[in-house]
Amino acid sequence: MVWVPLGPPRTDCLTLLRPPPNANSPKMSLEWLVAWSWSLDGLRDCIATGIQSVRDCDTTAVVTVACLLVLFVWYCYHVGREQPRPYASVNSLMQGADTNGLQNGYVYCQSPECVRCAHNEGLNQKLYHNLQEYAKRYSWSGMGRIHKGIREQGRYLNSRPSIQKPEVFFLPDLPSTPYFSRDAQKHDVELLERNFQTILCEFETLYKAFSNCSLPQGWKMNSTPSGEWVTFYLVNQGVCVPRNCRKCPRTYRLLGSLRTCIGNNVFGNACISVLSPGTVITEHYGPTNIRIRCHLGLKTPSGCELVVGGEPQCWAEGRCLLFDDSFLHTAFHEGSAEDGPRVVFMVDLWHPNVAAAERQALDFIFAPGR
């Protein structure tokens, strides 16, 4: 009995490799090998036909399909790695611990450009490298406190009492007090107060835009457990905001006349800060103790208060209030809607006990984008 394949042989791999039922007959084996050779020729023709079909296809369509496939695979991988996040209300977030942008109950923006929010494990090494680079270009003279602060930064930040805990950089041996007298930076305080009406007029022009939309261009909404807190930055972490400065040209020029304004490093800010009635800013710490924050009161209705290091103070229109925001601090507006918003012009000034050589070095070490 001779084995003969019936009909066209299958191109299935298992079929091709399966031997005939009776492999003892030489004639049967020969016939099987002939049929297998014929099947391989058919398989080769099938593959060639498929390749030609792909060649005839539109290249753009093939590339598009390939890109979509890659994106789909990446999306599946990303979703698979992501941990589920339970929903949490704003109030519960405010009561949380120091995780995922929540520290001391304060909501952080999580921006990689933000010096306070983008916590970097290698920050101390980076700061020390910047200090060495500065010393090579200029001098180690007068760098003792900065060198000491960077070298022992972790110990300083961890051992500080809870009333004062700057979150980024602590300069040792600076006098610490929640509030400063007006004489601490007398020239700049008097200059700001003399230009009170100028700043107020430019703010009122800006604020008219709120009648047309909820948050006009250039304003930033900040997280609060209640009420609304908006800011209009002229300088944000040492970087000028040109579009906003053009809307407040006289106020911006005034910044250039201040002797102790921090304008060249990430700890320097200048903005208009507005609290609506019923607003509470959660207690939080500033990033450093090398500055003092100056608030020039523009509109200060009753029921508004600033609390720094447990000590309350009230703003006054046309007057400057100086404080160290590395102390735990908060602000609130408990007035009625008829009272209107609390408005201050905020600018960061150098701590009076930071020497000129130290200021120059800190500007270099903490330059924006470094």
Alpha-carbon distances of 119 from 122, 267, 288, 368, rounded to whole Å: 9, 15, 14, 15
At 267-319, the pLDDT tens digits run 999 999 999 999 999 999 999 999 999 999 999 999 999 999 999 999 999 99
Q: Which two tokens stand for residue 83?
A: 């941990």
pLDDT of residue 40: 61
Question: What's the CATH fold of domain 180-353?
Answer: Jelly Rolls (2.60.120)
Q: What percentage of the chain exceeds 70 in pLDDT?
A: 71
The CA radius of gyration of the chain, in Å to the nearest whole number, is: 35
pLDDT of residue 355: 97
Euclidean distance between CA atoms 189 and 213, whole angstroms: 34
At 131-143, the pLDDT tens digits run 999 999 999 999 9
Buried/exposed 212-246: b ≥16 CB within 10 Å, e otherwise: eeeebebbeeeebebbbbbbbbbbbbbebbeebbe
At 218-241, the pLDDT tens digits run 999 999 999 999 999 999 999 999
Domain locations along the chain: 180-353
At 165-185, the pLDDT tens digits run 998 999 999 999 999 999 999
Does residue 118 register a pLDDT over 70? no
Q: Which two tokens stand for residue 44?
A: 């080769």
pLDDT of residue 12: 46
Of 154, 145, 147, the C-alpha closest to 172 is 145
pLDDT of residue 287: 95
- Please indicate, yes or no, whether the overall pTM of this predicted structure exceeds 0.75: no
Task: Name which of 6-20, 55-69, 246-260 the model is least confident about.
Answer: 6-20
Does residue 201 register a pLDDT over 50? yes
Alpha-carbon distances of 300 from 197, 250, 295, 296, rounded to whole Å: 14, 22, 11, 10
pLDDT of residue 43: 61
Euclidean distance between CA atoms 367 and 346, whole angstroms: 21
Residue 102 binned pLDDT confidence (cut-offs 50, 70, 90): very low
Tell me which amino acid residue 75 is: Y
Q: Are 346 and 295 in contact (CB under 8 A)?
A: yes
